[in-house]
Structure 1
Amino acid sequence: MFSKTRVTEPGPRSTATPEAEPYRPAPETPRDAAPALGGGMRRSAGPSVLSADLTVTGNITTEGDVQIEGLVEGDIRAHQLTVGESATIRGEIVAEDIVVNGRVIGRVRGLKVRLSATARVEGDIIHKTIAIESGAHFEGSVQRQEDPLATGGAPRLAPPKPRNDAAADGA
């Protein structure tokens, strides 16, 4: 069941022990191998996850990937965004790749937008490519743009001008 290892065996010990070796730091990763986020390449870390019991009031901005399972009341800007089945987002979503499995109340802007069968979206979608699975609920307009991530997005309508009652009466 148990066996002796070289360390526990009696006998003369080798002079080259781990304590006797000089310190050698681990080789550094060259800075150009993983440039800063936004420099084209991204680190391969997993997405940031906001769990189902979390409520965020305010905007979220990241160059990385985000998976939302809870409630967010604010705008979200990310590289890749996954809206989980239990999630609700009240605000604008802007990301290169968006997968909606839960509920979004607000505008969605993305290069690739996918609404799964469990998606519930109330708002306009501005996209380069879109996929809507059978069973998804969507209420709003869909507009294709070559660059939906541009800061302007779709033009918003100006609020109605107040009427001048004197001009309306013909005076």
Structure 2
Amino acid sequence: MFSKTRVTEPGPRTQPTPEPESARSLDTSYDLPPAAAPRARTAPSVLSSDLTVTGNIRTEGDIQVEGTIEGDIRAHQLIVGESATIRGEIVAEEVVVNGRIVGRLRGLKVRLTATARVEGDIIHKTIAIESGAHFEGSVQRQEDPLANGVTPKLAPPPARAANDDAE
């Protein structure tokens, strides 16, 4: 039905004319990637449901977590599976939460699905929270939540004066 070669195609058969040796380019820079080339999308690294990691994870790629992580995660894109539990800070450009997170979450695009359970502050540029998601913490919008890897703590409630307690 399908063929990779032209041998089975009907019609006239013509041989391509070979290019003269002098006309070929001597440029060998095609082997080197351009310095400002966009990153090619690859398959995410998957941490399976039977895996427990204690320690920090850092990558410029994508991660899909189905197991348990006790530590901070920094990635390009993070998908937290329904069976996953992460205890630590998450910093990623895009975060999709289907499972449980205990800790601060910082991302440009954050999405909490209906099965998400988040206990901690969310600092984001854009956020979507589906009906049914469980969230305990505060939400703060920042233009660049990933800047310098440091986010100021959210302001505590104003302290009451000492004589307020006496009344």
Q: Which residue of 2 aligns with 1:56?
A: 53
Query: 1:3-82 counterparts in 2 under 5 A?
Result: 30-33=31-34, 41-82=38-79
User: Which consecutive unaligned segments of at least 5 residues does structure 2 have?
Assistant: 1-27, 157-167
Query: 1:1-171 counterparts in 2 under 5 A?
Result: 30-33=31-34, 41-150=38-147, 151-155=149-153
Specify the SS of the correspondent of 1:131. strand
Question: Could you state the TM-score of these two structures normalised by the residue count of structure 1?
Answer: 0.70
For the 8 Å contact 1:122–1:139, the answer to whether it is kept is yes
Identity of aligned residues (%): 72
Distance 2:31 2:95 in 1: 32
Over aligned residues, Cα RMSD in angstroms? Answer: 2.0
Q: CA deviation at 1:157?
A: 6.6
Specify the SS of the correspondent of 1:32. coil
Using a 3 Å threshold, how does the CA distance of structure 1 residues 75 and 54 change in structure 2: closer, same or farther? Answer: same
Using a 3 Å threshold, how does the CA distance of structure 1 residues 147 and 40 change in structure 2: closer, same or farther? Answer: farther
Structure 1 or 2: larger helix share? 2
For the 8 Å contact 1:128–1:146, the answer to whether it is kept is yes
Aligned residues: 128
Distance 1:29 1:51 in 2: 38
Q: Could you report, residue by residue, the CA deviation over 1:71-127 in whole angstroms, capped at 9, with x for unpaired residues?
A: 000000000000000000000000000000000000000000000000000000000
Distance 1:49 1:29 in 2: 32
For the 8 Å contact 1:126–1:154, the answer to whether it is kept is no
Distance 1:85 1:40 in 2: 34
Q: Which residue of 2 aligns with 1:9?
A: none
Question: Could you state the TM-score of these two structures normalised by the residue count of structure 2?
Answer: 0.71
Based on CA coordinates, which of the two structures has the bigger radius of gyration?
1
Runs of 4+ in 1 over 6 A off after TM superposition: none
What is the identity, as a one-letter code, of the residue corresponding to 1:78? A
Q: CA deviation at 1:44?
A: 2.0
What is the identity, as a one-letter code, of the residue corresponding to 2:152? A
Q: CA deviation at 1:45?
A: 1.3
Specify the SS of the correspondent of 1:155. coil
Distance 1:83 1:97 in 2: 11
